[in-house]
Chains A and B, each alone.
Chain A
Amino acid sequence: MRSKFKDLGIGVGLRPSHYSHFLSGKPNSVSWVEVITENFLAWRDGTRIQPLKTLHTIRQNVPVALHGVSLSLGSASGLDKSYLLRLKQLAREVEPLWISDHLCWTGVDGSNLHDLLPLPYTEEAVAVVSRNISLVQEAIGQRILVENVSSYAEFTHSQMKEWEFLTEVSKRSDCGILLDVNNVYVSAYNHGFDPLEYLNGLPKERVGQIHLAGHSNNGGHLVDTHDAPVSEPVWDLFRWVTENYPAVSAMIERDANIPDWKILESELLRADRIRRSIHENAPVNRLSAAV
């Protein structure tokens, strides 16, 4: 089985504290980076508050993917047309590897709660999300990747499982999937399902990218905080995914308690070693090969 997407090897969610490592070159441990779309998007009134100078410098050294948090693909009141126009403009300027966002809604009736809110898994929601994804793909002229989110609530009127919902949406809109392995683990813990059932239920050839991240244990539930190293159960799931899915680009996200580059790099190298131990032809990250 082959993925519909190119395998670029190991990447990282690039945050400002690590920009310096990418401004005059590129660490050998990384083949590509992902940046948060909204950090570079022009403001609603057209103001360009976040200059692209830094991003343009970085992309001379390493390919960049755009990862958004505010497309609100699940919003029943429709997409924000202004956001879509600005995304299109940014994509023209940055020429990203690909564009991704989340299987969620962030607001309704024009408001934004700035959170990745879970959807009820209903036929109506499948139709709404699929239509919104199709509109985005039409507007920007490329297929996007849609990421499963960590969730803390499921709804009584859901008619299907999350992985069935994501499968149906991806087929109907012909989008790709950004598989966040940590999010699968967090949601499985919070809702009591088997993460392998989830991972076995997805259309594997549609997965174009993998996210790894850390979470926090709040007693009765897990929270997707991105403030800790990737946990051992998530590494186990990543190994399973690597063994059972086609080889695709994978990366680590860290948004709080961001460690020194060397520490983050050791996690990236672990991910690379797992990939290369399973996929002989996986792109080699030079530093990892030298270890």
Chain B
Amino acid sequence: MKTPRLIDFQRQFKTSITAEKLSKDELELVRGSKSFSRSERVEVYRYAYRARMIEALAEDFPRVRSHLGNEPFENLVMRYLQASPSIYASLSEISRDFPAFVAGEVNRDGYVGDLARFEWATVLVSQVADEVLSGFESLANLSPAEQLTTPIRLNAFCQLVESEWDVFTEIEPGAVPKRAHTRVIVYPYAEEYSVMSLSLPQWRALNFLSDGVTLANLCERLTHENVSPEEITHWFSIWSQRQIVCL
């Protein structure tokens, strides 16, 4: 048999591992033995690939898996990897495109896609929860007058999630999800994450803060929301205590 070029060999072996079924032609390159056949040898790699990927995504999306059931979830993962093979160095990164894929693939009025988006937000926040963040102490030290004029921003490690579904409340496998407009912020808390529900004006305020604005400017922007400056100041005090906003 002609010696294949390394690149051709690698493309072929990759197909052997990732394809739904293993073809006989792909076994020709592998040496077998009585106790450990060619196909068994390739199956070790095929099984490990499937198991590793499913485990990684199941760890990040436990509620999506629970909602869909094990087998449909596993099939969804394999379809995802066929559509978006990992180009990432770390397994922890392969989940990042999964919520968008789920949204396009699982047509249940968007619930599963939104749930995946919410779970991914919690993963991102948990990963950074023990990071040292700057700008909080100095925010607490500002006088009320200084707070009005100093630009304040949303902590970049927080994640804002909006959905037509109550993705925050866990439901039993197979139960019908509740339709309810949900706006939450996922923020680092006690080396994990916490979730806070938001009203529409609060949601808007935190979105304004993504760019960094002063409290005075924020009050001005929210004048149409029927929110008093005292209310906004109160939110600010809670958000700065929870390190949701910083300088």
Report A's interface with B, CB cutoff 8 A.
Answer: 38-39, 41, 43-44, 49-51, 53-54, 70, 75-77, 80, 83, 86, 105, 107-115, 117, 119-120, 122, 124-125, 128, 152-157, 190-192, 220-221, 223
Q: A51-B128, A107-B14, A221-B44 are in contact. List 8 more A-B contacts (CB 8 A).
A: A44-B88, A76-B10, A111-B14, A111-B85, A114-B52, A115-B48, A117-B17, A190-B41
How far does the alpha carbon of A44 sit from the alpha carbon of B87 in the complex, in Å? Answer: 9
Asked whether, in the complex, the Cβ of A157 is within 8 Å of the Cβ of B45, the reply is no
B235 within 8 A of A: no
Asked whether, in the complex, the Cβ of B89 is within 8 Å of the Cβ of A153, the reply is no
B5 within 8 A of A: yes
Q: Known contacts A153-B30, A156-B31, A220-B35; is A53 also within 8 Å of B52 by CB?
A: no
Asked whether, in the complex, the Cβ of B3 is within 8 Å of the Cβ of A192, the reply is no
Residues of B close to A110: CB separation below 8 A: 87
B83 within 8 A of A: no
Q: Given B9, B14, B89, which contacts A120 in the complex, CB threshold below 8 Å?
A: B9
Asked whether, in the complex, the Cβ of A113 is within 8 Å of the Cβ of B49, the reply is yes
The segment from B90-98, B170-178, B212-220 found at the interface with A is B90-98
Query: Chain B: interface residue count, which band?
Result: 35 or more
Asked whether, in the complex, the Cβ of B41 is within 8 Å of the Cβ of A43, the reply is no
Nearest-Cβ distance from residue A73 to partner chain B, whole angstroms: 12
Nearest-Cβ distance from residue A24 to partner chain B, whole angstroms: 15
Q: Given A70, A107, A128, A220, which contacts B36 in the complex, CB threshold below 8 Å?
A: A220
The B interface is mostly helix, strand or loop, or mixed, namely helix
Q: Given B6, B45, B88, which contacts A76 in the complex, CB threshold below 8 Å?
A: B6
Q: Given A41, A50, A154, A156, which contacts B1 in the complex, CB threshold below 8 Å?
A: A156
Nearest-Cβ distance from residue B131 to partner chain A, whole angstroms: 4
Residues of A close to B94: CB separation below 8 A: 114
Q: Given B52, B89, B124, which contacts A41 in the complex, CB threshold below 8 Å?
A: B89
Residues of B close to A113: CB separation below 8 A: 14, 17-18, 49, 86
Residues of B close to A112: CB separation below 8 A: 85-89
Residues of A close to B130: CB separation below 8 A: 51, 53-54
Closest to B17 in A: A113
Closest to A77 in B: B7
How far does the alpha carbon of A80 sit from the alpha carbon of B127 in the complex, in Å? Answer: 24
Residues of B close to A120: CB separation below 8 A: 6, 9, 29
